Amino acid sequence: MTGLIKQSESEVSDDAFELLKERSRDKTLSIRKEASSALASLYKGGLQSGWLSATKSASALNTILHLYYQNSTDDKLIVERLLKSSIIPYNFENAVRVQALFRCYSLMDEASIKAMQEIFKTQYFALKLLRDVVKLLTDHRDAKIPSEVNNEIMGVIQHLSILIPKSEKSVEHLKRFFNQVHTDKTLWNHLVKLTKPQTACAQATTALRDILKKIGTTAENPNSVNDNQTNYARVVKILLERCAPVLFDRNFGMELVNQLYIIKKTGCLSGTAGRMNVTRSLRLLLAVSVYFKEILPLNKVMDYLLCILSDENSSVLNDENVSSSANSNSYNDSYTLQEIALSVSKKT
């Protein structure tokens, strides 16, 4: 299917593009995955070079994110991986990654914005659960785990297993992993680094790689281990990928707020596709403040919000559609800037 895309051309044909969108909704998971990956490759190419039109960039992005509404966990995994590899590439520098986040927020439709919020929410709660297990293991680092604590860990494992595609042995594999963490000091150190609050993205990426290497992930040579070991490594890989904070850290948060000031000053942030206006930027800040509050420089955020609230020229976007609620985590573009800003201030 990737043959539909000619990398030497500056634009994919309309027919090929529509075929990829159609295939991304296919009944077969492998076809959906391949088509979505091809769309993500196009989107990332446009992100880096600017050759993909705004219309096709938005269409590719929204097609990928809408896949998150599928019932299967496998589809959600596809979207989360493409988000980190192609939409907001984790290996980009902070400033470029912030620009990528702004770009996708400027292009997303309402369904995609809600899907993005669900992705943020999933990582937040998954990482919280993982930190709970790490704390319990840390409290009993050099001792046998009491039965009541073991029962508590098993309860958390049951919740974490929901993150894994249906497998009869996912709970067993997760239990094995945490037992290994408890007895292996090196593995424990890596997991502590991965889950530690304020861990830098680069450190989280390295810790994730070290853990997968330690447990024997050998994707390049799958025949070197038995099926049980392969499935074990796969379950751990999925869990940690869904938890690992590889996109957002404190440096990212600082850069995010700095660029929000630019949008506030100029009215929008023009890029290769789409325009990030003040309303959309506040909606983004609200989502980040709910699920990644620890990365934000709170004093600068409050100063930014005060600028919004005191600006009489940015009072209302659509008076006729304004809601009086300031407690929601999800707003559409018809809300006043003041309403969204007040909600952000409550979250921070």
Q: Is the pLDDT of residue 271 over 70?
A: no
The span from the CA of 291 to the CA of 260, in Å, is 18
In a domain, residue 192? The reply is yes
Q: Is the pLDDT of residue 81 over 60?
A: yes
Q: Give the length of the chain.
A: 348
In a domain, residue 343? The reply is no
In a domain, residue 7? The reply is no
- What residues contact 224, with CB distance under 8 A and at least 6 apart? 218
The pTM of this model reads: 0.87
Looking at residue 331, what is its pLDDT? Answer: 52
Looking at residue 308, what is its pLDDT? Answer: 82
The span from the CA of 250 to the CA of 263, in Å, is 20
Same domain (yes/no): 254, 233 = no
The span from the CA of 251 to the CA of 210, in Å, is 23
Same domain (yes/no): 125, 209 = yes
In the chain, the number of structural domains is 3
Same domain (yes/no): 99, 181 = no
In a domain, residue 114? The reply is no
H or E stretch including 234?
A: helix 227-243
Mean pLDDT of 48-65: 92
Taking CB atoms within 8 Å and a gap of at least 24, the contacts of 109-113 are 109/58, 109/62, 110/332, 111/62, 111/65, 111/66, 111/69, 112/61, 112/62, 112/65, 112/66, 113/283, 113/330
Beta bridge partners of 275: 270
Tokens of 37: 């990956």
277-320 pLDDT, tens digit each:
788 888 999 999 999 999 999 999 999 998 888 874 444 333 33
In a domain, residue 319? The reply is no
- For residue 302, what are the domain limits? 248-267+274-312
Same domain (yes/no): 30, 89 = yes
Tokens of 237: 């890989």
The span from the CA of 230 to the CA of 269, in Å, is 46
Same domain (yes/no): 56, 133 = no
Looking at residue 225, what is its pLDDT? Answer: 57
Same domain (yes/no): 238, 160 = yes
Instruction: For residue 220, give the 3-state DSSP assignment.
Output: coil
Same domain (yes/no): 147, 213 = yes
